[in-house]
Chain A
């Protein structure tokens, strides 16, 4: 309101001024996400162009040039499309490498011992710790794909809906949704860690049938060798991503199911979303509240699988085994039944590993835990789906277990088969070592 302190705004003119000012104040339209993205692109282009004019040495790699070409092609394509249907094309990504360089095949070679930093022109930054082995698969206007073969890397990704950022970490894939996170992959022990400082990521890999969605402050630790995957709540999202201390399991209370969720029992896919959101305790709690036997007898194929996944993530292996067996019994012709065979092998392997360590498994089990049972499940999977989603994993685990329990000679033919079929698989290193040890 234009008051007397602001000057003479009386009379007809004063009232009109007040109304016009209010109209001007309320007519301004807040910028949309597209406005902001477009503005940032323009700004980035201006800053980059200025740097070039100043003669600052910037390295443009072959991949960067490819990105420019891809952007030009996409711009040309967009020009051919009807203007009403064409969204703004994201500007071409460019990057610089500090502390190293890109060599043939996209491998990042460290120049010294201080690690490397990849900086992209729209603000994203990848920081690789010293000794980290990584490979830049692709950079174009639609996004970036990078693989961390071993070591520790931190990613600070600028949020945008126009690009996809994919990080392959050993056998895991991290789909980035605009965030800050660190990953660790130890190829020798097959240990994967992801610490999420902020934002959200989705992780897929051999230990889950679908996406595992992580939120700020969560840490996913996966031990591929023992088929363990757990999520921890870090005390503070701002702490160093890869904490040196031993992880402490989350002590969050198990939520009781709400009446609304009880009423949903019997509905297909009711646990798909909680599973993707990492609400595993909720799934287990609801299953127990509804009666596990009832769930095993009546739940849909997808729900049984979700229950099995939730149980595996929480190390409730007896429940996981029951859910997977129910899946195979009730839906024998479904693709999930085959997946269940592989995962049953993982469950048995985990159980056997726990007993071998002399530690008490999280749940007592009367089921046989001989590692041969795990091997039979892997064989079952491989005989029906040798090229299935878990084919490489099943063959790799079979090779490792055979070597461990039956000896090198028995494992070598499996190693040879693995190398022939999956020369770049996550068990290729172990297979080569086995093969060399003839």
Chain B
């Protein structure tokens, strides 16, 4: 993915926790290899990365692995950042790249006759057993989507990004994103309706009103 295409400012659900050093200063610190900048970058962006990964994968443990990979790649490639004021978008572009490769890896697992894994552990103790079962089935259905469609779906519906933001992040055109969304939404709706177990759980939660 070209960094220039992903430099659009992104909305983020998680604010920076250390706001006194600007992104520009931080980016320059990273580019010069300063040790403090590594820690600061982690503290500033890890919440965003972890939340995005947790929602996209449905797994806290997988999200942690993904965050490690994102920051590892980020620090190695920091010198390629051409616009220091776009640090947040630069970080997010790595999230998308790593998510894509992780989802591809999972898809290859399915092609090699293994069951698609939907290891769901988001929410921890805060999520009740029924909801966790629903989530497991939901992520199981998401795993049946193609890599691109799944990622588009996650960014649009789980991250609440606009179609334009999704397009910029994934280096796609807006029309491609819309077609992908239509495809994935249609498939997901159909699968849900045909999943009797899911419908039963869904009814039990009282969400059919």
Contacts and interface: CB of A to CB of B under 8 A. Distances in A.
A35 B135 CA distance: 22
Given A21-B158, A29-B126, A36 B72 contact: no
B185 A125 contact: no
A25 B21 CA distance: 30
Interface string B34-58: 1111111011001100110011001
A15 B38 CA distance: 43
Say what secondary structure dominates the interface of chain B: helix
B193 A39 contact: no
A159 B51 contact: no
B68 A19 contact: no
A27 B189 contact: no
Interface in B15-37: 18, 20-21, 34-37
A120 to B, nearest CB: 7
A59 to B, nearest CB: 15
A246 interface: no
Interface residues of A, number: 49
Interface in B140-195: 156-158, 160, 163, 178, 181-186, 188-193
A20 interface: yes
Interface residues of B, number: 61
A269 to B, nearest CB: 32
B52 to A, nearest CB: 9
Interface string A23-51: 11101111100011001101110110000
Contact of B50 (A9, A12, A35, A122): A35
A237 interface: yes
A25 B135 CA distance: 10
A31 B46 contact: yes
A20 to B, nearest CB: 4
A265 interface: no
A46 B205 CA distance: 43
Contacts, number: 159
Given A12-B208, A30-B14, A123-B35, A24 B182 contact: no
Contacts of A10: 189
B71 A43 contact: yes
- With most chain B CB atoms within 10 A of its CB, the pick from A15, A28, A119 is A28
Contact of A36 (B42, B124, B134, B198): B42
A308 to B, nearest CB: 34
A16 B54 CA distance: 21
A5 B178 CA distance: 7
A221 interface: no
Interface string A196-238: 0111000000000000000010000000000000000000010
B36 A23 contact: no
Interface of B: 14, 18, 20-21, 34-40, 42-43, 46-47, 50-51, 54-55, 58, 60, 64, 67-68, 71-72, 75, 122-124, 126-127, 131, 134-135, 138-139, 156-158, 160, 163, 178, 181-186, 188-193, 198-199, 202, 205, 207-208
21 contacts: A6-B178, A7-B181, A8-B189, A9-B189, A13-B188, A17-B189, A20-B202, A21-B158, A23-B131, A25-B55, A27-B122, A35-B50, A39-B50, A40-B46, A43-B68, A47-B72, A123-B36, A123-B40, A159-B43, A197-B20, A198-B20
Interface of A: 2, 5-17, 19-21, 23-25, 27-31, 35-36, 39-40, 42-44, 46-47, 119-125, 156, 158-159, 197-199, 216, 237
